[in-house]
């Protein structure tokens, strides 16, 4: 049966007359979710009130710390300003140095460009020399092969010569003694000519003095009333080293004392005699003040007399 408008209006008047019926009707018409909505709204209102209270407290805390924040911000702004100035200064210095570097680079490039042609010519010359060196190396290797074959033949000859060498040793020893005696005899002969030319008169025959440190020829001589002892080191070949060694021996006081004990009292006119004389021997004789004699006579005059030891 249809529910008419009149019946609906009658229902409304009844509900207005009986409020307790409205609660029952509401329970029947509305769902449990809708019925619970007022309670939910009250809970939301309570939460919003709590949120507002929390927001108020936060604002009060912010207001309490606002001044401190402003001071911190001002200090931060100041430090940033200083940092900007330092960065600007550093950047300006870096720009200046980069400019200097760019200028130096430009000059280096100009110098390189100026010398590039010279470098290319040098490189070409170096390549040519390396090519010549490679060719020389090739020829050297060929020569080494030839020399290796020659060495083998030489080894064979050496084996044959070793037997002959042994026989020659005794002969060489004999000749060495002869040559040594010849050098001493040559020194004596030259002294007999050189000393009188220099105004000296020989007071005795030249002789050999031998002990720990022998002297080949010694002879006393007199000039202007002064007696000196002429001492000579005689060698087949005189060199710088031989002259230096002889000079060091004569400069040694202990050596001169030994000469005095052997009867060669000094002062000493020092000579060195050589059948052959190197160029270095002449230079050494002048440097160390040693007279130098050869078969041809006095080549370097002696220096000052050495005192007795």
- Every domain of the chain and the residues it spans: 184-300
d(CA 261, CA 255): 10
Closest Cα to residue 292, out of 281, 307, 279? 281
Pairing state between β 297-300 and 291-294: antiparallel
Peptide bond into 290 cis (omega under 30): no
| pLDDT value, residue 160 | 66
| pLDDT value, residue 211 | 58
| pLDDT value, residue 174 | 41
Q: Read off the tokens for 148.
A: 């290796």
| pLDDT value, residue 102 | 79
The secondary structure of residue 274, as a DSSP letter, is: E
d(CA 186, CA 204): 17
Which residue reads 């030891």 in tokens? 309
Closest Cα to residue 292, out of 249, 226, 233, 248? 233
| pLDDT value, residue 168 | 38
pTM of the model: 0.44
| pLDDT value, residue 49 | 87
| pLDDT value, residue 18 | 83
| pLDDT value, residue 190 | 94
Closest Cα to residue 280, out of 243, 236, 234, 249? 243
d(CA 101, CA 220): 82
CB count within 10 Å of CB 221 equals 21
Q: What is the mean pLDDT of each run of 10 residues along the chain (309 residues)?
A: 76 82 75 70 84 84 79 83 84 84 81 75 82 84 78 70 48 39 85 94 88 78 95 93 95 92 92 92 95 93 92
d(CA 17, CA 21): 9
Q: Which residue(s) pair with 209 in the sheet?
A: 215
Q: Read off the tokens for 23.
A: 């609660």
Closest Cα to residue 243, out of 192, 190, 299? 299
Closest Cα to residue 308, out of 262, 265, 252? 265
199: left (phi over 0), alpha (psi -120 to 50) or beta: left
Q: CATH assignment of 184-300, given 3.40.1350.10, 3.30.470.20, 3.30.1490.190, 3.30.950.10?
A: 3.40.1350.10
| pLDDT value, residue 164 | 45
| pLDDT value, residue 259 | 92
Which residue reads 């006579």 in tokens? 297
């Amino acid at each position: 049966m249809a529910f008419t408008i009149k019946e609906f209006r009658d229902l409304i008047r009844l509900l207005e007359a009986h409020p307790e019926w409205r609660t029952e009707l509401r329970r029947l018409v509305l769902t449990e979710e809708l019925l619970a909505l007022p309670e939910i709204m009250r809970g939301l209102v309570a939460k919003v009130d709590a949120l507002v209270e929390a927001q108020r407290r936060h604002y009060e805390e912010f207001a309490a710390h606002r001044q401190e924040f402003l001071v911190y911000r001002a200090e931060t702004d100041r430090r940033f300003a200083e940092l900007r100035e330092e960065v600007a200064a550093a950047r300006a210095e870096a720009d200046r140095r980069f400019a200097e570097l760019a200028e130096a680079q430009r000059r280096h490039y100009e110098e390189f460009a100026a010398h590039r042609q010279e470098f290319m010519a040098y490189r070409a010359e170096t390549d040519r020399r390396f090519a010549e060196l490679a060719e020389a190396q090739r020829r050297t290797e060929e020569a080494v092969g030839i020399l290796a074959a020659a060495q083998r033949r030489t080894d064979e000859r050496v084996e044959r010569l070793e037997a002959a060498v042994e026989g020659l040793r005794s002969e060489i020893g004999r000749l060495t003694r002869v040559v040594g005696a010849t050098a001493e005899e040559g020194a004596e002969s030259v002294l007999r000519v050189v000393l009188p030319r220099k105004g000296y008169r020989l007071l005795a025959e030249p002789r050999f003095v031998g002990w720990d440190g022998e002297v080949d020829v010694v002879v006393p001589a007199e000039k202007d009333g002064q007696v000196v002892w002429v001492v000579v080191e005689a060698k087949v070949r005189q060199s710088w080293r031989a002259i230096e060694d002889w000079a060091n021996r004569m400069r040694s006081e202990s050596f001169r004392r030994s000469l005095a004990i052997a009867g060669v009292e000094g002062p000493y006119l020092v000579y060195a005699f050589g059948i052959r004389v190197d160029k270095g021997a002449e230079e050494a004789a002048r440097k160390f003040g040693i007279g130098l004699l050869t078969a041809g006579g006095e080549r370097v005059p002696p220096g000052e007399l050495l005192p007795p030891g």
